[in-house]
Structure 1
């Protein structure tokens, strides 16, 4: 029996193939090579080659295959959109995103936000070092914050408040409200969780960033 990840991965390819490649390229701001039937998709400061004919996905700089959870996010980014919506430049919490943001927020906070607080709540400088590796740019929220062009049309912003002896550290993750038009709520949550996981994974090696 196929795993849930494998089912979602296979369906993701079929969903992408049902859309016109030029519509995907135009609406989601990715590059399409018609002669090769390939998309070039920027994802967290790296480009991925998505080959429609072979149903393969590799990182452009070294040919490595992304983990299946990341590959699913790429496929969902290419296939979910229904409109020509644009990024607003505003920021909202997951709780403010329609179709389940409020419902899923407690689990998201436990899995993603608490991990960020644990990893970076007492070392905000380390956070900025790690954020830079993933293409994060400093922003003016909280004590420190960084905004990431995770995909071309789905920026995310991570904000931290450093704790001390009296006040506990805190964190939040913000989304452009237009994300509801580009990803299903479950994919939005997965995207935020994936960003948090990548940042946390970088934390132990931050001194060498």
Structure 2
């Protein structure tokens, strides 16, 4: 798995370097410094620096490198499409994403949504505090829900319905339909997995109560 991620990471840099920086900043909400040859990208509520010459990605605040999955998602965000599409301002499930969402949904359910149900299915209110740590904003769906800006153009929303002795807890991750033009389907799914994993880590930590 690590080898596959490394291949995707290296390909992301290869694809990025085929595009002129001015083309990227014209269609993505990022900045580029000519003197340092670095992009600045906002991913959730943190700024990341992409160094063109050294092919590195690190958090602006502390210099820490993100997990390789997050790095691949950031690179794909910069390189995937020439389209600069605004959000449709509605929510759909992965099943409704036309670029293969229905095909990948069973694995997405297992690897992302089930993590959220385990973490918040019996304590949905904790989703609000965990979500806030990633810049999330409370919404009015389910027992608890939080929307996030993964990137300035890419919102997504986590919804939890608490269970009881008779009804099993449930959850979902919702996307704006415009995401199909902004991320490859694998990175879209990876984005959901990344968010679910981060939220579960926060729920298990003593940092968020």
- Equivalent residue number for residue 120 of structure 1: 120
Query: Which has the larger displacement, 123-132 or 19-28?
Result: 19-28
Alignment of 1:21-36 (within 5 A): 21-36=21-36
- Equivalent residue number for residue 167 of structure 2: 167
- Equivalent residue number for residue 96 of structure 1: 96
Deviation at 1:207, TM superposition (A): 6.1
Deviation at 1:165, TM superposition (A): 2.0
Structure 1 unaligned spans of 5+? none
Structure 2 unaligned spans of 5+? none
Give yes or no for contact 2:27–2:82 (8 Å, CA) kept in 1: no
- Equivalent residue number for residue 63 of structure 1: 63
Cα distance per residue 1:85-124 (max 9 Å; x no partner) = 1111111100000121001101100111111001100111
Aligned CA-pair RMSD = 1.3
Alignment partner of 1:109 is 2:109: yes
Alignment partner of 1:84 is 2:78: no
Deviation at 1:26, TM superposition (A): 2.6
Give yes or no for contact 1:116–1:171 (8 Å, CA) kept in 2: yes
User: Matched residues in 2 for 1:27 and 1:61: separation?
Assistant: 25
Give yes or no for contact 2:154–2:176 (8 Å, CA) kept in 1: yes
Give yes or no for contact 1:126–1:207 (8 Å, CA) kept in 2: no
Deviation at 1:25, TM superposition (A): 1.6
- Equivalent residue number for residue 185 of structure 1: 185
Deviation at 1:187, TM superposition (A): 0.8
Cα distance per residue 1:180-206 (max 9 Å; x no partner) = 111111111111111000000111125
Give yes or no for contact 2:95–2:105 (8 Å, CA) kept in 1: yes
- Equivalent residue number for residue 11 of structure 2: 11
Return the TM-score normalized by structure 1: 0.95
- Equivalent residue number for residue 147 of structure 1: 147
Deviation at 1:174, TM superposition (A): 0.3
Give yes or no for contact 1:130–1:206 (8 Å, CA) kept in 2: no
Task: State how many pairs are aligned.
Answer: 208
Match of 2:157, SS state, is strand
Give yes or no for contact 2:130–2:208 (8 Å, CA) kept in 1: no
User: Matched residues in 1 for 2:197 and 2:129: separation?
Assistant: 15
Match of 1:142, SS state, is coil
